[in-house]
Amino acid sequence: MGRAPALDAAAGACQAGAMNPPEKIVRIRISLTEIAPEIWRRVEVPINLHLKGLHDVIQAVFAWEDYHLFEFRIGDKLYGIPAPGEDHGRRVLHARSARLAALIAKGVQRFDYIYDFGDGWEHGLVIEAVGDADPALLYPRFVDGARRGPPEDVGGPPGYERFLEIVTAPQHPEYREAIAWRGGAFDPEDMGLAMLRHRLAGVVQRREVGKANYEKSRMPR
């Protein structure tokens, strides 16, 4: 697969090591696999974001609750939260050990994110573009997307399909039970934009606090 011009330019910038370059952002499209109609999100994130930070963004925009383990699969490498002494022959690198800038510099354009190994929610990620940050905006930021994310612990794609059959049919004998389990009505077409932006604002706030603390630590004492 050929590399997009934006990725070639970004790779050159990463390797050149220029002093104080303008902040770069990465536009990423994220889609849940095995689900139709498609549930997807498009986000813009800082190029220096590590994979743990990207995990936080994905959790926010899909309205996951971060109850379960996760893993990024990039080439032949796995990134997540290693469990000491429990690798079972699979070496998992810490998600904080890889940043988007380094991945892009190596030509990575597509990779996968898996959340909840029981339900097995697989997300396909595509790096669409790299560009300069808008100084008037805060990042990470939500760009667009479609459809509401599935509830936690619904049973993966097959369980979600069954759930939708029930909650979209008020006459179904299990309708009341499913709505009570969900904690209220569920509209699969309503992405819940206000809620997603609120959740992502929390990620942005934590990042800004971290940046401020870092700058403060660099000040002469």
Q: At a CB cut-off of 8 Å and minimum separation 6, what does 6 contact? A: 129, 130, 131
Report the distance separating Cα 11 and Cα 206, nearest Å. Answer: 28
Six-digit token string for 85: 């002494």
Evaluate whether 116 touches 67 at the Cβ level (below 8 Å): yes
List C-alpha distances in Å: 206 to 133, 134, 203: 18, 19, 5
Six-digit token string for 207: 């990042």
Query: pLDDT digit string (tens) for 154-164?
Result: 999 999 999 99
- How sure is the predictor about 206, in pLDDT bands with cuts at 50, 70 and 90? confident
Evaluate whether 124 touches 30 at the Cβ level (below 8 Å): yes
Query: pLDDT digit string (tens) for 23-77?
Result: 899 999 999 999 999 999 999 999 999 999 999 999 999 999 999 999 999 999 9
Six-digit token string for 42: 């498009």
* pLDDT at 147 (0 to 100): 98
Give the lowest-confidence range in 69-83, 87-101, 128-142, 164-178.
87-101
Highest mean pLDDT among 9-23, 76-90, 151-165, 205-219: 151-165
> Which is the CATH superfamily of the domain at 5-149+191-218?
MM3350-like (3.10.290.30)
List C-alpha distances in Å: 204 to 28, 45, 73, 94, 118: 17, 10, 25, 22, 29
HSE on the CB side for 211, CA within 13 Å?
11
Query: pLDDT digit string (tens) for 103-126?
Result: 999 999 999 999 999 999 999 999
* pLDDT at 87 (0 to 100): 61
Q: Where are the domains of the chain?
A: 5-149+191-218
Q: Average pLDDT of the chain?
A: 89
Secondary structure (DSSP) of 81-92: ---TT--TT--E
pTM: 0.86
Evaluate whether 126 touches 28 at the Cβ level (below 8 Å): yes
Report the distance separating Cα 24 and Cα 55, nearest Å. Answer: 19
